[in-house]
A and B are shown apart, each in its own frame.
Chain A
Amino acid sequence: MLRQSTEDLVKSLGSWRLWTLLGWLEVRQRYARSRVGPFWLTISMGVMIGSLGLVYGTLFGQSMEDYLPFLAVSLVMWGMFATTVTEGGLAYISSGQFIRQASTPKLIYVLQVVWRNLVILAHNFVIVVILLAAFGVKNWQTLPLFLPALVLYILNAMWIAMVVGLLSARFRDLPQIINALIQIAFYVTPIIFRPKSLSRFTFLVEWNPLAYLIDMVRAPLIGQFPSAETWGICLGMAAAGWLLALSLTGRYLKRIPYWV
């Protein structure tokens, strides 16, 4: 089982030209014929951060200097995770016409989703850079940690997308369920509020794997070191998740053309 899916993964990675192209086309298609193109994403994300920042920063009694970069990093990173997972649910379904006509490796369709969201992340990241430049970097020493954190973050998003995509191809009501869950996760995970500001229901942070994921990529950018516990949990999740995703994919790889 694992052999089949790793073979597929290796072949998929090998045809990177195909999935990067497919991913790009999708981004371009959405913003075709508009002057600023994909930077509409940046603009709408910027407006959202600005307005949420003003309202919640005031509500929580935070200084804008601290709160805006915090919120920007949280929202931008969460956006990438959330859309990778929700679009991952449609990875195989929406590529049905390709899957039924040519025998390409299957994981390229998941990689395409991940790639597309990385492209979008790169556009949105402009806001983070601007805010860091405007308010100053808190701690230069923590910045390099962002890179391994980002890799681990993407790896976690991808295994979830693999699992969700596979199950959604078979059970068509799953994408709706996933959408609802992601929505709830957005509210209970410390994205717009700080992890420490929950005085009751702290289990929402302590037992929420997503809280650790978001903390891992956020901390280095706002001048904190992610704790060893955070690294451990995220690493463990990635390892266990990839094992699950690869064995599920290996088990059902051949069924995908029947399902889409």
Chain B
Amino acid sequence: MAFIELKGATLDLPIYDVRGRSLKKKVMRIGRRNTIAEDNDGVIVVRALDNVDLRFDRGDRVGLIGHNGAGKSTLLRTMAGIYAPTSGTISSNGKIVPLLDISLGMDENSTGMQNIRLRGLLLGMSDSEIREKQQAIAEFCELGDYLDLPLRTYSSGMRVRLAFAVSTAVDAEILLLDEVMGVGDASFMHKAEERLADLHSRAEIVVLAMHSNPEIRRVCNKVLWMERGRVRAFGPMEEVLSQYEATS
């Protein structure tokens, strides 16, 4: 049974400027008595998640809403296991597939086919799984003979098609999506939507961050409203979404 649970998860993101990155500065600071002159060590800490308690269970289709910088992407990355929380815990069960950046792991000088393999491996597919799905991926992205050409010859639309086709071929129990809409031309857009809908129906839990309220109404049954790294509201879709719409 798939689930994700966060208990008191807090995430402090350190932001380093040039000084904070320097070993020399750090060594020079050792043994210096007056720290007043250069007290700032060049590290600013941003609290991206603040004491978040959540539990998503099987069947949840969660829409993640909130203003820019509210912590939506950070939350997704934490759930994906990329960022470990500074304090608090996160536990989960089920294969998590994050689709956060459409352009992850593409190699310019490799052919389309080789890129299918590279990206598949990065997303945690096994070798046999990739071989099995390669044909389906190739058909879905409709790139035909271009798949045997290196990626640097592709247009940006073609890249997105390929990346989308590979990413969405992964079997996910928990699917994390970060606004991956807007792919390619109109006909592919339609296909992509179908594919996403199919992906949603196969996954046990879907969490998607997006700014389009009609889309959330269509897909989700729950909504999580983030504000400044905290949970502002979490509950049934219509309830939270209307609250959100009332304030903005």
A interface vs B, CB < 8 Å? 15, 17-18, 21-22, 25, 28-29, 32, 97-104, 167, 170-174, 177, 254, 257-259
Contacts and interface: CB of A to CB of B under 8 A. Distances in A.
B100 interface: yes
Interface in B102-129: 104-105, 107-110, 114, 117-118, 121-124, 127
Nearest to A26: B107
B82 A103 contact: yes
A171 B105 contact: no
B110 A98 contact: no
Chain A facing B: main interface SS: helix
B80 interface: yes
Given A17-B127, A103-B80, A98 B104 contact: yes
A257 B122 CA distance: 16
B23 A97 contact: no
Contact of A173 (B21, B77, B83, B117): B21
**Minimum-distance CB pairs A-B, first 10:** A103-B81, A171-B23, A254-B84, A172-B21, A101-B104, A18-B121, A101-B101, A103-B82, A32-B109, A29-B109
Contact of A28 (B16, B109, B124): B109
Interface residues of B, number: 32
A2 B81 CA distance: 20
A181 B107 CA distance: 32
A173 B123 contact: no
B13 A258 contact: yes
B55 interface: no
A101 B121 contact: no
A81 to B, nearest CB: 22
B23 A173 contact: yes
Contacts of B100: 101
A170 B21 CA distance: 6
A15 B23 CA distance: 33
B14 interface: yes
B122 A98 contact: yes
Contacts of A257: 77, 82-84
B109 A173 contact: no
25 contacts: A25-B109, A25-B114, A25-B118, A97-B104, A98-B105, A98-B122, A99-B82, A100-B82, A101-B100, A102-B80, A102-B98, A102-B104, A102-B122, A103-B80, A103-B82, A103-B98, A104-B122, A170-B21, A171-B21, A171-B23, A172-B21, A172-B22, A254-B84, A257-B77, A259-B16
Contacts of A167: 23
A148 to B, nearest CB: 31
A102 B23 contact: no
Contacts of B118: 21-22, 25
A102 B123 contact: yes
A254 B16 CA distance: 17
Interface of B: 13-14, 16, 21-24, 26, 77, 80-84, 96, 98, 100-101, 104-105, 107-110, 114, 117-118, 121-124, 127
Given A17-B127, A18-B122, A258-B14, A101 B105 contact: yes
A259 B100 CA distance: 19
A186 to B, nearest CB: 22
A101 B167 CA distance: 12
Contacts of B110: 25
A167 B123 CA distance: 27
Contacts of B96: 103
Contacts of B77: 100, 257
Nearest to A171: B23
A97 B105 CA distance: 8
Nearest to A18: B121
A22 B122 CA distance: 10
Nearest to A28: B109
B12 to A, nearest CB: 9
B81 to A, nearest CB: 4
A235 to B, nearest CB: 30
B22 A101 contact: no
A25 B14 CA distance: 32
A11 B33 CA distance: 45
A259 B81 CA distance: 16
Given A29-B107, A98-B104, A101-B104, A177 B23 contact: yes
Contacts of A100: 77, 82, 101
Contacts of B22: 171-173
Given A102-B80, A174-B23, A177-B23, 4 more contacts: A18-B121, A98-B122, A170-B21, A173-B21
